[in-house]
Amino acid sequence: MVSPVLYALLASPILYAAWNKLLRRRRTSVIPRNQERVIILGASSGIGRSTALQYAAAGAKLCIVGRRQAELDKVKAECLQARKSGADSASILSIVADFTSPEDMVRLRSELESVWSGIDTLIVSAGVSAIRPLLDLAGLAKPRSVDSTEQVSAEQMHRTVNTVNRAMKGNFEGPLVAALAFIPLLQFSSRSPSILLVSSLGAALPAPTRSVYAASKAAALLLYQSLAIEHPAIAFTWVMPSTVQGNFRSTAVDRVDGPDIYKETKEGLKQEVVARRCIEAVDNGEKHVFMPAPFCRSGQAMYWWIPWATEGIARRKYNFAS
């Protein structure tokens, strides 16, 4: 006799797929793609740029936001080219703004209220990298040596804290300000409001040399997870990819001259693949999205069940073994 628990386990993938399909149909029927008002923070490069191109090709009303005018102009031109049908001046907007600046976000919000009377989808894709071990960042000559008696001075601590604050500003303060600026607008202006946070596997699974980056990304992830409970009218999604191809490492707040660790990453997930999954997740109303799912989910499970094994594998991979 098959137990009810087994029946439930066998049926759950089918039920989940059916639920996703129904939810997708509901949102797209409420807000057709050519009526969807999408704002992308951090659209001048990387995953944000790829997401913008795909939304533009699908016909959505699009506002791309970034700090660099020249880069935004390039992306807007690409979006106009990707658009399959003609686009009027209000269907693709490009606005220079810093998402860590409350004044910039209020200005951006006022512009969107004036042109579109609100928004439906907020994509928070901006962020910065940090890839040096904490004590190496502090300036210790041999931070991993048990034979070294060197310690961190007050001056080194201040310098390290300043660098960490830059990471927190880009990876936590920015998403915080964006949430403050746009949650109320989403709630009263959209029939199906959605927010997507482009996070990182590092926010859910620790890795060597990523302590500062992981901490800042995890802070934003937990913020949005809490906001999802506080604002049930909005569908929240967070996408947590592993390594993504591109030059994201060049944004590192702990960058120093010399090492090639900041060069372009040629291995990993393609930006356009992550962008496609982001849009799919928003349409489906998904909550947690790991990429690639099997690797990330198994890594997370291993860390919780056998942390010593996960830590040992990571130490050997990154040459931290004692």
Q: Using CA atoms, how far apart are residues 236 and 228, in angstroms rounded to an integer?
A: 6
Q: Which of 55, 129, 200, 217 is catalytic?
A: 217
**How many domains is the chain partitioned into structurally?**
1
Distance (Å, rounded) from C-alpha 62 to C-alpha 75?
12
* Residue 96: partners with Cβ closer than 8 Å, 6 or more residues away: 65, 66, 67, 68, 69, 72
Identify the domain containing residue 113 by its residue range: 27-140+152-291
Backbone angles phi, psi at 242, to 5 degrees: -80, -155
Mean pLDDT by 10 residues, the chain (322 residues): 51 54 68 95 96 95 96 94 74 95 98 96 95 91 81 95 96 98 97 97 89 95 98 97 88 75 80 96 94 88 89 85 70
- Find residue 236's DSSP bridge partners: 195
CATH of the domain at 64: 3.40.50.720
User: What DSSP letter does each residue of 137-151 carry, written as one string?
Assistant: HHT-SSTT-TT----
Question: Does 311 reside within a domain?
Answer: no
pLDDT at 280: 94
Residue 317 is among the residues annotated as catalytic for this protein: no
For residue 216, tell me if it sits in a domain: yes
Is 50:275 a contact under the CB 8 Å cutoff? yes
The active-site residue out of 50, 61, 190, 213 is 213
Q: Please, where are the H alpha helices in the chain? A: 4-30, 46-58, 69-82, 102-116, 134-138, 154-168, 174-189, 211-230, 271-284, 293-305, 307-317
Q: State the Cα–Cα distance between residues 47 and 279, nearest whole angstrom.
A: 11
Q: Is 318 a catalytic residue?
A: no
224 is catalytic: no
User: What is the 3-class SS of 34-53, one letter each residue?
Assistant: HHCEEEEECCCCHHHHHHHH
Q: Does residue 235 lie within any of the structural domains? A: yes
Residue 9 is predicted with a pLDDT of 47
Pull the structure tokens for residue 210.
Answer: 């990523």
319 falls within a domain: no
* Residue whose structure tokens are 């904490």: 134
Q: Is 41 part of a structural domain of the chain?
A: yes
Six-digit token string for 231: 């604002």
The neighbouring-strand residues paired with 195 are: 122, 236
- With a CB cutoff of 8 Å and minimum separation 6, the contacts of 104 are 97, 98
pLDDT for position 146: 80
pLDDT recorded at residue 160: 95
Cα atoms in the 13 Å half-sphere on the side-chain side of 29: 6
Domain presence at residue 156: yes
Closest C-alpha to 200, from 173, 171, 178:
171
Residue 308 lies in a domain: no
Separation CA 44–CA 170 (nearest Å):
15
Given the residues 199, 200, 211, 242, select the one marked as catalytic. Answer: 199
pLDDT at residue 89, as a whole number: 63
CA distances from 20 to 17, 161, 163, 196, 216 (A): 5, 43, 42, 17, 31
18 assigned to some structural domain? no
